[in-house]
Structure 1
């Protein structure tokens, strides 16, 4: 029997089972492990130069891999684990570390790293707590990542940094492990009972050999991918451990951690382009820009486009490192370490880089203002740590410094180290030759005001976006710097319910005067919900809308700022009507229909953000102030004598009279209106003007709405949504456009998209009411239908409609009323008889489409400019004769005739005025802005949505903040 057993055991079929048996047997497993280790040492000792002996290097790699596999397999098996014990007793990791460091072979280094990682993950024999183990592994990591080491591949780097990260994870879970990896010079120099006295004599400089693991992670925090993630997270764990170790806290304070992090952030900021233009990919232009006078800005080698992949990568890297700063501050529980980091952030990054770049920016040198304002906005949108925000805005806005910081309970040695570090930083900055700039002479407010008046539309747009970001996220800084505010009594309700309803009706009347066939009731309901979410999510609103749990717990905790000088709670205030920022924004609003689309989206967004905060009163600058209410003389409420003042009937009568007075509507007088309401009324008149000079205005407007709906269905992920008055940030988070008055009518990059949408929609005439109702608006210009539907007036029965006297929107001139509609001749008959199977009607629809395309490309200006009405030139009586080509040719022929007539007229005038030129100096005509009809139509839709948003904001505020008086 023994013979057959030995015979079968020696066959090849039983070799696999024999190895499994050997793996299961602890004794045989250890024998195999010791044999592999002995062969490894023998190969190493017999090789004079491992770096040049490929065969020996390959054999060592194989033995290392086998040792690692045995350890990994054993750690998964039940006890005992003799191989792991053998590795601990014999300290085989020491020669393995020496073999790897002297091999200069990446494959051997990789296997050695895996060997150490396997020992750590085994969680036996306390490898991670052993000084000899930490010394061997530290020496290995230093040698393979040092300046004279070989260049490792990305996979090997990931394994190295992951190993260091695993060690920091162990330290985080068990703080006493730190002593095996961190050996401060103060500890080694003071080993007796006088340790605390000696600790105060800390030299003020740290050495890398004190904590090599720390510096290994520091070298990789700027890397992308897994390497950077492991390095940054491991460093966070070490900084977090400083709260449990006074020596480590002192060591970090005086280390160059803060200097390296600040200079690294500055280096990444310096890599960003100094000059920038905001653009969109040619194949991904948002529809709201496609239907406007959008032009791709010019980019050069020096002026970088925001769509550049390299720029996007640099910006993303910079912002990720900025967020790492925030993570470090969030994990740091040491006040001294945090203060050291923030001090270096301010001095090295803010004072030396960010502020000088803002100061030296200009909008005439190719986009440097666009660049730095975009970077600052992205910084303020990315960071939410209160101390970092306070540092940035406190310095850039030139806020006054606080008297002194509160005393901390830090160790005396740590405080002394902190002071020495501050002195070193001050000495380093004093040694620089460059001039130190101060925001006291020119701060961010000055820059914002100057950029808003720029002639570069991209500069204006990115500045508005920066202002909106400050108002949304950091409103408490804006009320004492950007805005001129006045204190108001917080508990007083100002406007009455009658005035409130009147002002909402005014905005709804303006929105209704624009017209349209969509279901505006449903649209307005959606806007109301969005506005409520927006108001509730404002950082200042939580104190007003949060439920009060009890009378003793109705105050929220103070803002957790550790730095002095940060503004505290936002008080109840109102915006001064003469505020320079508000006036500049309203100046931009006045030319709404000629502005670039993105400028209008930004300016309306900023206006909404000015009024979202619950602590700001909107009376006086957005709505009429109650002091300016003028009522009609009251008639006698009752002819009967008043009741006894002491009776209950008298008190009830007083309440009823108070309620009645609050429901009265003040006289709508232009002198009582804030400037913004007057501008909105003027813009509504501009819409009426465009309706009068643009043929088929109503049809073009409805087509544009449907085009946006179709585009939203085709491309649901677009960053811009027309009608929402919001710009969802894309990759670059800065969507601005430089629209020039002399730009081509239809940029070629947009023709395909726009014409395809319009051709799919067709051009049938429509006659619907502005708010989705079935009643029609008479073309006489009387606006009674809209007014009565909004509840503004109630015309008598069987009487012709009369315009509401409250809102005299130029009703004296029907052409400027804004409520008339321009229909094409026989449009309703054509629409009713339209049938796709009727070829004459289909041909006429094609003619309409061609004429519409011609109309959309024509340029128009604001009222008062010398621009002739656009002719509607095609034969409407024939079906086949009025085809698309003929209509287009007639339009072009009319344009050429008008141009030649202008030339002849100019020549005649030049001859007649030749003798007068010597007597009078030439006066240049004022610059007149023009835009294509397509551009104007898009802005009209944005304007209508803005009116609905303002009305919804006023209604939401009234209900949420109890701003309206009912009695």
Structure 2
């Protein structure tokens, strides 16, 4: 009607009524609305609780609390003055909210109360976080809800509570002055002596009432999801605050927080299975393992599979908690608190749990050695904090204090000047801890001086159990990549070839090839490289001959280029690191590995059984040897290349005199003669051949024996290389990598190798702490891998897209085995069955190949007893492909080391 009146010009339209001013812009109106809601909550709380009306009452109270939380949020966003927040602080409404939630024991009301506290904390008004009643009300609510076990709450509510506590921890980190409200110390260090005398079952004083926020978070640091994230990050902020509060520092040292953290780590480690099987299940068996005699059956059914969801979940939880330990030590700003944590890690975890599991491990009880070695490998891949790494490896390897020599850089400044590195409280705490954990009978004490990690690894490398060998080799490779300085003198009985000397300030700077200088004014003196250029070229030629013989009298030039590229990235990364190193152990060619080294002999003896050993063992073995040869700290003398001490140079022919020779000075003539001598190759004889070369030459003899037994071996190998490439090559276009060198020896270079053969593996996958930089990984990950790249941890991602030998097989392999077949006829006959007189491919691949013979290295390991070993042709084919790639990588390592290190690797005069 109003619209019609305006249209016809009738009665005038009444004036528009102006609405009232918005409540959000009127502080008094907001306050009035806020008080009404709060008074409604008070009225509901004062009503008597009766069974017939309790549920409606709880629902009304929950609705009112939600309304109050919304009003607090709106008030925080409204224009000042924030009269509602002032009223909330003066009336202490949070005490009413906390009491209502505790009495109700009703999760929806508890959730609404937590939302109100979160809104008040986020408002940052009226200094609520520095108000003792506010902190007391909040912690009373949280403690009653999450610690009393009288109230069942869901994940969402618990997450909200931990998020609120995390917010408070973040506020404490930014405003250290409010810590006194949330923490009060009632610690009495003198009581600890009483506890020690009474032999209490715990270490430290439990003081939950002093700092309940800290205890609630530490109880949940191992949780998954957001609850664990909030707890861990919040606790990091608490430990960071110890550097700004002497009271908190002393309280943490004397409390049982360190004990709880170490015990939690031990409990998660104890969840891991003692009997572990690292065999791949049939459903996820990688193709490279399927093309061998790999067995997926464990002899004992009680051993847990490393690929089970349960085990992987436990490993993720344990490693995440170990990472949390590192974060705590990294964030802790108190030297005494940090030392207390390290003491508990050593005594409660290393000495009381990890070392006993290592000591009690066995190779005969379904894989306890496999389990311990696998867990140690995972821990070393996760650990990055130097103090934890040094404490763990120094104890397990029985390294004496001070045995790891380093070049001093800058004076170590105490965190708190004027105080000793360890306070009396810290020393008393460690003494109490050692007293409580000491065995009753001193003779029963287990010490690494009797049996340590070195003994376990060496015994496992000599084991007859393929899983034990594989786990030991993986651990060795991990230590070589990440913590190699702890291997020198323990697992590797190396001899040091360097010394320390001070460089005079007014003296000339020596050549970089002979001396490395760091910022502290110290220099690391090298013994000059003893390998001459002539010896280097001779060894390169000898290993190249092995490659040519293994590949069927051709040299894989394109594959070699890719191998060199990967090797160059790895060695260059080490060389760059060594230039700025303050550690003697990183000096190039500073250590000599004796030929009689126990670990080297064990690896060489294992290499003798290459064609009959399990394929995963061979992949791990070749990766370990390549990693050792790529360590620039280790000399290659005697085990990879000729030992200069026993090699004699060939008799140099007389140089034709030139007219300009008469103009040379004595120094120039001497330098020329020295250069000529260095370029002269030494006299080669089998009795001085390097250990690795001798073993590879023996394997080549076995390959030639197989080639005579199986005339079509080269065709079968080409087909196997195609199959391996097809099972791992990503469907992306690969760009040609830049070349370092077309071949190690120009005379033997040939680019007619089959295009199907893949480039080298990604040497030692780059991770945090790995010598390789990220620049290398982006190229290596886009390249197909074959040969020794197929370690079980990486090959499992390939997928089992190749059928087993007994099932359907590619037609290309069927025709490759036909006598007289060629690649040109293969396409024409790929669908034709073989002639009746020719055995099927399956029968041929299942044929057993027998190997005999014992070399010096193997004789030591087997007490001189030669034994016949046999494997199927299918297994031998895949191992030959792995061996081809391995020898090619050895050639690349020898050449690239010389190219990158230069005068630090070779002697030119």
TM-score by length of 2: 0.80
1:662-811, aligned counterparts within 5 Å? 662-713=678-729, 723-726=786-789, 730=793, 752=803, 758-759=809-810, 761-764=812-815
Relative to structure 1, is the Cα distance of residues 185 and 862 closer, same or farther in structure 2, using a 3 angstrom cutoff? Answer: same
> Can you list the C-alpha shifts for 1:563-583, whole angstroms capped at 9, x where unaligned?
xxxx99898110011111111
Q: Which residue of 2 aligns with 1:247?
A: 247
1:839-850, aligned counterparts within 5 Å? 842-843=831-832
Is 1:827 paired with 2:821? Answer: yes
Q: Which residue of 2 aligns with 1:660?
A: 676
Instruction: Name the CA distance, whole Å, in 2 between partners of 1:519 and 1:669.
Output: 25
Q: Which residue of 2 aligns with 1:75?
A: 76
Q: Which residue of 2 aligns with 1:274?
A: 274
Q: Give the superposition deviation at 1:558.
A: 6.1
Is 1:964 paired with 2:894? Answer: no
Q: Which residue of 1 aligns with 2:438?
A: 430
Is 1:611 paired with 2:629? Answer: yes
Relative to structure 1, is the Cα distance of residues 675 and 120 closer, same or farther in structure 2, using a 3 angstrom cutoff? Answer: same
Instruction: Name the CA distance, whole Å, in 1 between partners of 2:713 and 2:96.
Output: 86
Instruction: Name the CA distance, whole Å, in 1 between partners of 2:238 and 2:245.
Output: 10
Relative to structure 1, is the Cα distance of residues 301 and 648 closer, same or farther in structure 2, using a 3 angstrom cutoff? Answer: closer
Is 1:85 paired with 2:86? Answer: yes
Instruction: Name the CA distance, whole Å, in 2 between partners of 1:691 and 1:826.
Output: 15
> Can you list the C-alpha shifts for 1:858-878, whole angstroms capped at 9, x where unaligned?
11121569xxxxxxxxxxxxx
Instruction: Name the CA distance, whole Å, in 2 between partners of 1:849 and 1:122.
Output: 86
SS in 1 for 2:832: helix
Q: Give the superposition deviation at 1:590.
A: 0.8
Equivalent pair of 1:74/1:83 in contact (CA under 8 Å): yes
Equivalent pair of 1:51/1:104 in contact (CA under 8 Å): no
Q: Give the superposition deviation at 1:204.
A: 7.9
Equivalent pair of 1:29/1:83 in contact (CA under 8 Å): yes
Equivalent pair of 2:637/2:643 in contact (CA under 8 Å): yes
Q: Which residue of 1 aligns with 2:22?
A: 21
SS in 1 for 2:282: coil
SS in 1 for 2:561: helix
Equivalent pair of 2:38/2:68 in contact (CA under 8 Å): yes
234-243 or 955-964, which deviates more: 955-964
Q: Give the superposition deviation at 1:173.
A: 1.4
Is 1:451 paired with 2:460? Answer: yes
Q: Give the superposition deviation at 1:180.
A: 1.6
SS in 1 for 2:223: coil
Equivalent pair of 1:485/1:573 in contact (CA under 8 Å): yes
Relative to structure 1, is the Cα distance of residues 849 and 958 closer, same or farther in structure 2, using a 3 angstrom cutoff? Answer: farther
Q: Give the superposition deviation at 1:410.
A: 7.0
Q: Give the superposition deviation at 1:356.
A: 0.7
Instruction: Name the CA distance, whole Å, in 2 between partners of 1:526 and 1:844.
Output: 38
Q: Give the superposition deviation at 1:651.
A: 5.4
Q: Give the superposition deviation at 1:473.
A: 1.4
Q: Which residue of 2 aligns with 1:623?
A: 641
Q: Which residue of 2 aligns with 1:508?
A: 544
> Can you list the C-alpha shifts for 1:357-408, whole angstroms capped at 9, x where unaligned?
11111111111111111111111111011111111111111122459x9987
Relative to structure 1, is the Cα distance of residues 412 and 393 closer, same or farther in structure 2, using a 3 angstrom cutoff? Answer: closer
Q: Which residue of 2 aligns with 1:333?
A: 333
1:932-947, aligned counterparts within 5 Å? 932-947=872-887
SS in 2 for 1:247: helix
Is 1:588 paired with 2:606? Answer: yes
- Please tell me whether Structure 1 or Structure 2 has the larger radius of gyration of its CA atoms: 1
Instruction: State which of 839, 842, 851 in structure 2 corresponds to 1:862.
Output: 851
> Can you list the C-alpha shifts for 1:512-571, whole angstroms capped at 9, x where unaligned?
212269992221111111112222445xx4443x4xxxxxxxx54569xxxxxxx99898
> Can you list the C-alpha shifts for 1:391-432, whole angstroms capped at 9, x where unaligned?
1111111122459x9987475898232133223212321376
1:129-168, aligned counterparts within 5 Å? 129-168=130-169
Instruction: Name the CA distance, whole Å, in 2 between partners of 1:506 and 1:144.
Output: 75
Q: Give the superposition deviation at 1:956.
A: 1.7
Instruction: Name the CA distance, whole Å, in 1 between partners of 2:455 and 2:636.
Output: 25
Q: Give the superposition deviation at 1:926.
A: 6.4
Relative to structure 1, is the Cα distance of residues 706 and 410 closer, same or farther in structure 2, using a 3 angstrom cutoff? Answer: farther
1:68-467, aligned counterparts within 5 Å? 68-185=69-186, 205=205, 207-298=207-298, 302-401=302-401, 409=417, 415-430=423-438, 435-467=444-476
Q: Which residue of 2 aligns with 1:482?
A: 491
Equivalent pair of 1:468/1:606 in contact (CA under 8 Å): yes
Q: Give the superposition deviation at 1:847.
A: 7.9
CA RMSD after TM alignment: 3.5
Relative to structure 1, is the Cα distance of residues 443 and 56 closer, same or farther in structure 2, using a 3 angstrom cutoff? Answer: same
Instruction: Name the CA distance, whole Å, in 2 between partners of 1:217 and 1:725.
Output: 46
SS in 1 for 2:337: helix
TM-score by length of 1: 0.75
Q: Give the superposition deviation at 1:763.
A: 4.7
Relative to structure 1, is the Cα distance of residues 50 and 96 closer, same or farther in structure 2, using a 3 angstrom cutoff? Answer: farther
Equivalent pair of 1:340/1:418 in contact (CA under 8 Å): yes
SS in 2 for 1:593: coil
Structure 2, gaps ≥5 residues long = 1-17, 191-202, 404-411, 499-525, 733-760, 766-780, 855-864
659-668 or 406-415, which deviates more: 406-415
> Can you list the C-alpha shifts for 1:79-135, whole angstroms capped at 9, x where unaligned?
232222221221111111111111101111111111100111112222222222111
Instruction: Name the CA distance, whole Å, in 1 between partners of 2:20 and 2:365.
Output: 75
SS in 2 for 1:861: strand
486-495 or 936-945, which deviates more: 486-495
Instruction: Name the CA distance, whole Å, in 2 between partners of 1:675 and 1:445.
Output: 22
Instruction: Name the CA distance, whole Å, in 2 between partners of 1:577 and 1:857.
Output: 38
SS in 1 for 2:645: helix
Relative to structure 1, is the Cα distance of residues 86 and 413 closer, same or farther in structure 2, using a 3 angstrom cutoff? Answer: farther
Structure 1, gaps ≥5 residues long = 1-16, 190-202, 547-554, 560-566, 737-748, 766-822, 866-924
